[in-house]
């Protein structure tokens, strides 16, 4: 075979393979019915995605403690060490908090504290949740429905008071169990020499 014929055959085979692969990609309706289905066991398994927590959580209670005129050290005691303290903006501290969880939106909170002459001048940022609100958002356990009331009603209390009086019948005296003879075992360690 000549070189021209081989080159022509290679070109024809390349075009044929490309058209077959393109046609295979276009048959989505034929083959993907099972892969999108909920009965496919492959769809039951999802990869684990770690929770990513970054920054400092600042609660509403902590923000309520801030008062203009507080020194830097006192602000640090209330809020903790800032996540961002730029040397180019020495009179500004940024407290940023971000939480990324699986199957949930990114939660992001920000509080910026401004100082003038090493004294708190003002602060601004997002509306911070209270500690209890934040903890309820973190609760990722499955909700099992309404929790039953764990208190007795007046009728139930009266019924309990009546039962001990009716159950005051004499109880049989328990007989002592027979004692088995004690066994003698050899010592665990040899006697000292």
The domains of the chain, with CATH numbers, are 52-138 (3.30.1450.10)
Alpha carbon distance 193, 186 (integer Å): 17
At 135, the pLDDT band (50, 70, 90 cuts) reads confident
Residue 133 has pLDDT above 80, yes or no: yes
pLDDT tens digits for range 136-167: 777 655 556 676 677 878 888 888 877 655 45
pLDDT of residue 56: 84
pLDDT digits (tens, 9 = 90+) for 89-112: 889 999 999 888 877 788 899 999
DSSP string, 10-74: HHHHHHHHHHHHHHHHT-HHHHHHHHTSTT-GGGG-------EEEE----HHHHHT--TT-BHHH
């Amino acid at each position: 075979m000549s070189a021209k014929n081989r080159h022509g055959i290679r070109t024809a085979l390349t075009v044929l393979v490309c058209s077959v692969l393109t046609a295979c990609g276009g048959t989505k309706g034929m083959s993907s019915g099972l892969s999108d289905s909920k009965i496919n066991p492959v769809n039951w398994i999802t990869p684990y995605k770690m929770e990513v927590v970054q920054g400092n959580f600042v609660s509403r209670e902590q923000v309520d403690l801030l008062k203009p005129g507080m020194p830097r050290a006192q602000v640090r005691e209330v809020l903790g060490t800032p996540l961002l303290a730029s040397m180019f903006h020495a009179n500004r501290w940024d407290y940023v908090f971000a939480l990324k969880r699986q199957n949930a939106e990114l939660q992001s909170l920000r509080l910026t504290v401004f100082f003038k002459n090493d004294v708190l001048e003002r602060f601004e940022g997002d509306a911070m949740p209270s500690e209890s609100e934040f903890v309820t958002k973190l609760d990722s356990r499955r909700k099992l429905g309404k929790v039953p009331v764990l208190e007795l009603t007046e009728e139930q209390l009266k019924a309990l008071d009546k039962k001990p009086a009716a159950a005051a019948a004499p109880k049989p005296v328990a007989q002592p169990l027979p004692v088995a003879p004690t066994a003698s075992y050899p010592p665990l360690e040899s006697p000292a020499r």
